[in-house]
Amino acid sequence: MDMVRAKRPRRRPVAATAGPVLLAPLPPPPPPQDSYGSTALGDVVDRSIHAAIARFTNGLSPAALAAACLDWAAHLAIAPGKQLQLIEKGRRKSMRLAHHAVQRQLGARVPPCIEPLPQDRLFAGEAWSQWPYDIVYQAFLLHQQWWHNATTGVRGVTRQHEDVVAFAARQILDTVSPSNFVVTNPELLQQTARTGGANILRGMQNLVEDWDRALSGRKPAGSEAFVVGRDVACTPGQVVHRNGLMELIRYAPTTRRVRPEPVLIVPAWIMKYYILDLSPRNSLVRYLVARGFDVFVVSWINPGPESRDLGMEAYRQMGAMAAIDAIAALVPGRRIHGVGYCLGGTLLAIAAASMARDADMRLRSLSLLAAQTDFTAAGELMLFVNESQLTFLEDLMWEQGFLDARQMAGAFQMLRSNDLVWSRAVRDYLMGERRPLIDLMAWNADATRMPYRMHTEYLRRLFLHNDLAEGRYRTDGKPVALTDIRVPLFAVGTTRDHVAPWQSVHKIHLLADTDVTFVLAEGGHNAGIVAPPGETGRAHQILSRVAHAPYLDADDWAAAAPRHVGSWWPAFAAWLSAHSGRPVAAPRPARSPLGAAPGSYVLQD
C-alpha cells in the first residue's frame, strides 16, 4: 500500500484565478448538405411537373404570365391619374357608341364611329354594315381599343411585361369576338338560313375529320395532293453527301453552261428544306438552275430523342461546314455563293464569320433571306423570351429530348390568332367551307422537331443574350464577329414578317463591314420569300450600300430605296451573276449511290 502511494504523482498547486477558466471554442459543426440523390430527385420532379403543365399551355409559362400581370396590376393600382383617364375614355366611347346607335335607329346613314385596323378583315363583309350588327361589331372594337389603352402606357411597367399583358388581353378578346358566334355573325346567319343548317353539319364533319387527323398524327385534309418528290421538292438532282445530321443535294443542270461558283442553300431546320423547292412554278431552286447556276441544298434530318445533345456547334460543323467541305471536294478551287434562309441564314452567318476569322476564303458571297443576326428587335416572338419562359420550355424539351414543331406552332399561331385560328375555325367549322390547300400550306403542315440542346442554345445565346451581335458567340472556342465578313452580302426582309421583322433583318447594316444590298419584299416570312416572277401583287424595294458608306436606319432606308413592281428573284439572280465568273461547261449528271433528290431525310415523319 505504501508503495502504491509512493508512485502517485504529486499534484501541483493550482494558481488562484479571478474568474472561470476559458476553454477554446469548439469548431462549428459542418452545415448540413443535401445528398446528390435528393437534389437530383427534386430537380427531376420540378422539371416533370413543368413539362406536364407545358403540354396543356402550348409551352407557355404560367409563372411568366402571372409576373407580367402582377407588374401591370400593381402599377395601375397606384396610378389614379391613369385610372381616371381610363374612366374618361370609357365614358366617351360609350357616349359615342350610343349616339351612333340612336342615329342608326332613326335610319340615318352615318359612317362607323370606329374603323377596324387595316389588317383586320373580320368585319369587312357587307352584312356587317346592317343594323344591329354594325352596333355589335363597333361596340367590340371600342371595347378592344379601351383594353389596349388600359394595358399600355402604365408608368413603371417593364416593356416586355406591358407587351405580354397587351398580348394576353388581345387573345382573350379575339376569343369572344362577335365573328366567332352564329347569333352575332350576320354572315353565318345568312349562310345557315340559305343552306338550312347544312353548313353547321359540314362544319361538324370537318371538325371531326381534323380532330381524327390530329390524334392519329396525319397531315391536314388536302395534303395528299402534295407528295414530296412528285408534286413538291421535285427538281431533279442527286444526294451527293450524307452524314448523321443532313443530306446535301446537287441539282441537275438544265443549261449547257453554268457559272463556275456553286450556290449552297442552307434552309432552316425548323421545317423541311423544300420551302425553296415547292411546285415547279414557284421553286427558287428550279429558278436558279434554269439561269445557269450549279445549286446545292442542305436537307436536314428530322431529329428524335436520340439527338437531344446536338447543339448549335454540331449544326455548324456537321451542317454548313460539312456541306462546304463536300462541295469543295466535288468542285475544287471554286468559291461558293452561300445562301441562308431564316434560322439557316443565322447559322450560315456564324459559319461565314468563323471562316473569315480563320482566313478560310472559300465563300464568294453571302445571302441572308429573312434571317436575323441581331435579335434586339425580333418582334412579337420576344414575348416568349425571358428567363421564366425559357426555363419552362427547356423543361418540356428536357423530358422529350426535342421540341416538336406542332408544340411551337401554337406560339406562332397566337401571334396572328385572328388569321390563323379564329378565322379558320369560323370558315371550316361554322361556315362549313374548306379553303383549298396550296403547296405552301402543305409544306407548313410538314412539321419537324428540334433537339433539346440546340434549341436551348439558340434561344438563350441568340434571342435572350444576343451573343452573336455583341461579340460573345464562340465557335471552336474562339469568338466570332460579323465585322470580319468581307464578301459581298445580299439580304432580304419582308414587309409582314412576324418571325423575323424586316427592321431586325436590316440591322445587318450595323454588323457587316462589307458591301450590302438590301431588299424589302412584299409579303410575310414565307410568302415574301417564295415570290416567283409573274405573280400579281408582287413588289420590292432594293438599295445597295458600299462598305464604309453612311448608315441609314430602317425608316430612312425605306424612304430612300426605289420601289419596283414584281418579284425580287430576278434582282437576286442578276446580283449572283455579277459576283460570278464567266460560265463554264455544265457538269455531267451522274447517278449517286446515295440516291436521287429529294433524298430520304425529307421523308422522315
**How many domains is the chain built from?**
2
Which position among 69, 113, 234, 342 bears the catalytic label? 342
Of 128, 159, 191, which closes a domain? Answer: 191
- My answer on whether 492 and 564 are in the same domain is yes
Say which residues have a Cβ less than 8 Å from residue 241's Cβ, sequence separation at least 6.
247, 248, 322, 323, 326, 594
- My answer on whether 176 and 324 are in the same domain is no
DSSP string, 62-110: HHHHHHHHHHHHHHHHT-HHHHHHHHHHHHHHHHHHHHHHHHHHTT---
Of 191, 215, 248, which closes a domain? Answer: 191
Query: What does the pLDDT read at residue 5?
Result: 45
Check residues 415 and 160 and name the one with the higher pLDDT: 160
Using alpha carbons, select from 141, 145, 362, 330 the residue that is nearest to residue 250.
Answer: 330
What the block records as the C-alpha cell of 448 is: 419537324
**For residue 133, what are the domain limits?**
55-191
Can you tell me the distance from the alpha carbon of 431 to that of 206, in angstroms, rounded to the nearest whole number? Answer: 10
Which of 152-156, 378-382, 413-417 is predicted least confidently? 413-417
Is pLDDT above 80 for 40? no
User: Does residue 461 sit within a domain?
Assistant: no
Residue 113 confidence class, pLDDT cut points 50, 70, 90: confident
When pLDDT is averaged across residues 452-474 and rounded to a whole number, the result is 93
Query: What does the pLDDT read at residue 270?
Result: 86
When pLDDT is averaged across residues 401-427 and rounded to a whole number, the result is 71
- My answer on whether 566 and 497 are in the same domain is yes
Query: What does the pLDDT read at residue 17?
Result: 45
SS3 of 303-363: the string is CCHHHCCCCHHHHHHHHHHHHHHHHHHHCCCCCEEEEEECHHHHHHHHHHHHHHHCCCCCE
- My answer on whether 170 and 259 are in the same domain is no
- My answer on whether 494 and 585 are in the same domain is yes
- My answer on whether 180 and 276 are in the same domain is no
pTM above 0.85, yes or no: yes
Residue 201 confidence class, pLDDT cut points 50, 70, 90: very high
Is pLDDT above 90 for 448? no
When pLDDT is averaged across residues 375-402 and rounded to a whole number, the result is 83
Chain-centroid distance, C-alpha 23: 69
| Predicted confidence (pLDDT) per residue in 508-557, tens digit | 999 999 999 999 999 999 999 999 998 888 999 999 999 989 999 999 99
% of residues, the chain, pLDDT over 70: 91
- My answer on whether 492 and 365 are in the same domain is yes
* Average per-residue pLDDT for the chain: 89
User: Does residue 9 sit within a domain?
Assistant: no
Query: What does the pLDDT read at residue 16?
Result: 45
Residue 409 confidence class, pLDDT cut points 50, 70, 90: low
Is pLDDT above 50 for 14? no
User: Does residue 459 sit within a domain?
Assistant: no
- Cα 152 to Cα 139, 171, 498, 499, distances in angstroms: 20, 15, 20, 23
Q: Could you confirm whether 113 is annotated as catalytic?
A: no
- My answer on whether 167 and 271 are in the same domain is no
- My answer on whether 174 and 241 are in the same domain is no
Query: What does the pLDDT read at residue 27?
Result: 67
- My answer on whether 324 and 241 are in the same domain is yes
Of 124, 157, 191, which closes a domain? Answer: 191
- My answer on whether 177 and 257 are in the same domain is no
| Predicted confidence (pLDDT) per residue in 114-146, tens digit | 888 877 778 888 899 888 899 999 999 999 999
When pLDDT is averaged across residues 355-376 and rounded to a whole number, the result is 97
